């Protein structure tokens, strides 16, 4: 029987901005390409997360209102979730979901939303949204790699704990706060990021980071290499757009 990976898509009805769902389709297609099956399990408010049978968590971005609803629901799941992340559960949290992992999110109108407090970071909304295509430099398995995406956020995120590792360094765009060139957060197998877009189809190496982490946790091999000609072309096209003078 084909082994199956299960990815929990958290709050697809609430946290679903800018085609974030495309990340799941990408993971599913690539996992099948590697010879395994993949189920996307949609979980929303009040649903329980069956952690022993989940291989990865995905949560997309949402508006301030939706972030509030999700926060209240996540509070009921918080202890197990943190424990699983500590144990290396792969997780991709985009924009509004990423902000929820910190100490708090203060909206531009002053509304205060406490965060889950998993990490010593906070987010404050300011006038003027940080919008546009973004290029960052990241490192996977000791190899530098460019990552492209699209960002649109009012929140500015600051990593207080200097031991926290960003997802990457901003080459063009705004990133966490438009000031310190950091973008996102990388902790064990969790990536929090402002890159919408969707991120994974245009950055197959990041998709494979998650897939390899899932496979390693199950002791399953990834042996074949996928043909990423189209994905790499898409990546390069965005890069050309952001850095028009560099080929
Ligand atoms: N409400 C948050 C902000 O604007 C997150 C928005 C999003 O997920 N794109 O900062």
CATH number at residue 210: 3.40.50.880
Strands 143-159 and 182-183: unpaired
- Asked if 36 and 5 count as a contact pair (C-beta separation under 8 A), the reply is yes
pLDDT at residue 207 in the model: 98
Atom of ligand 1 nearest to the CA of 152: 9
Q: Is 173 in the pocket of ligand 1 (CB under 6 A)?
A: no
Q: Which helix (H) or strand (E) holds 207?
A: helix 204-218
pTM for the whole thing?
0.96
The confidence score (pLDDT) of residue 151 equals: 95
Q: Is residue 201 domain-resident?
A: yes
Q: What is the pLDDT of residue 121?
A: 98
Q: Which of 116, 93, 221 is nearest to 167 (CA)?
A: 93
CA of 160 from ligand 1 middle (Å) equals 20
Let me know if residue 75 belongs to a domain.
yes
Q: What is the pLDDT of residue 16?
A: 85
Q: What is the pLDDT of residue 1?
A: 79
Q: List the one residue out of 20, 76, 86 whose CA is nearest residue 47.
A: 76
Residue 159 Cβ contacting ligand 1 at under 6 Å? no
Number of domains into which the chain is organized: 1
Residue 247 in domain: no
pLDDT reported for residue 245? 67
Task: Report d(CA 176, CA 184) in Å as an integer.
Answer: 6
**196 catalytic, yes or no?**
yes
pLDDT of residue 167: 98
pLDDT in tens, 172-199: 999 999 999 999 999 999 999 999 878 9
Question: How far away, in angstroms, is 245 Cα from ligand 1 center?
Answer: 31
Q: Which residues in the chain land under pLDDT 70?
A: 245-247
Distance 155 CA to ligand 1 centre (A): 6
pLDDT at 244: 78
> Is 31 exposed, middle or buried, given 0-12, 13-18 or 19+ CB atoms closer than 10 A?
buried
Q: Evaluate: CB of 154 within 6 angstroms of ligand 1.
A: yes
Q: Tell me if 193 is assigned to some domain.
A: yes
pLDDT of residue 247: 52
Query: 3-class SS at 131?
Result: strand
DSSP helix/strand/coil, 103: coil
Domain that holds residue 203: 4-242
**Burial environment of residue 110 by CB neighbours within 10 A (0 to 12, 13 to 18, 19 or more):** exposed
Strand, helix or coil at 54? Answer: coil
Q: What is the pLDDT of residue 97?
A: 93
In a domain, 153, yes or no: yes
What's the pLDDT score for residue 76? 85
Q: Is residue 124 one of the residues assigned to a domain?
A: yes
pLDDT score at 246: 55
Residue 18 confidence (pLDDT): 80
Q: Tell me, yes or no, whether 34 lies in a domain.
A: yes
Best mutation site among 19, 23, 62, 100 for ligand 1 pocket (most ligand atoms within 8 Å of CB): 62
């Amino acid at each position: 029987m084909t082994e199956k990976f299960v990815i929990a898509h958290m709050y697809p009805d609430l946290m679903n901005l800018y085609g974030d769902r495309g990340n799941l389709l990408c993971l599913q297609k690539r996992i099948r390409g590697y010879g395994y099956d993949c189920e996307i399990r949609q979980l929303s408010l009040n649903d329980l997360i069956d952690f022993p049978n989940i291989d990865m968590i995905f949560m997309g971005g949402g508006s301030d209102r939706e972030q509030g609803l999700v926060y209240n629901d996540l509070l009921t799941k918080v202890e197990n979730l943190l424990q699983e992340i500590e144990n290396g559960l792969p997780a991709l949290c985009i924009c509004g979901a990423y902000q929820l992992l910190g100490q708090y999110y203060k909206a531009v109108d002053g509304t205060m939303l406490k965060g889950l407090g998993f990490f010593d970071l906070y987010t404050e909304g300011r006038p003027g949204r940080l919008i546009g295509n973004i290029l960052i430099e990241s490192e996977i398995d000791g190899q530098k790699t460019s990552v492209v995406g699209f960002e649109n956020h009012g929140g500015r995120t600051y990593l207080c704990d200097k031991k926290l590792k960003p997802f990457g360094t901003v080459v063009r765009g705004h990133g966490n706060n438009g000031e310190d060139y950091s973008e996102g957060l990388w902790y064990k197998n969790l990536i929090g990021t402002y890159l919408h877009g969707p991120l994974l189809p245009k950055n197959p190496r990041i998709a494979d980071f998650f897939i390899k982490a899932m496979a390693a946790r199950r002791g399953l091999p990834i042996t074949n290499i996928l043909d990423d000609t189209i994905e790499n072309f898409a990546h390069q096209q965005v890069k050309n757009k952001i850095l028009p003078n560099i080929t």
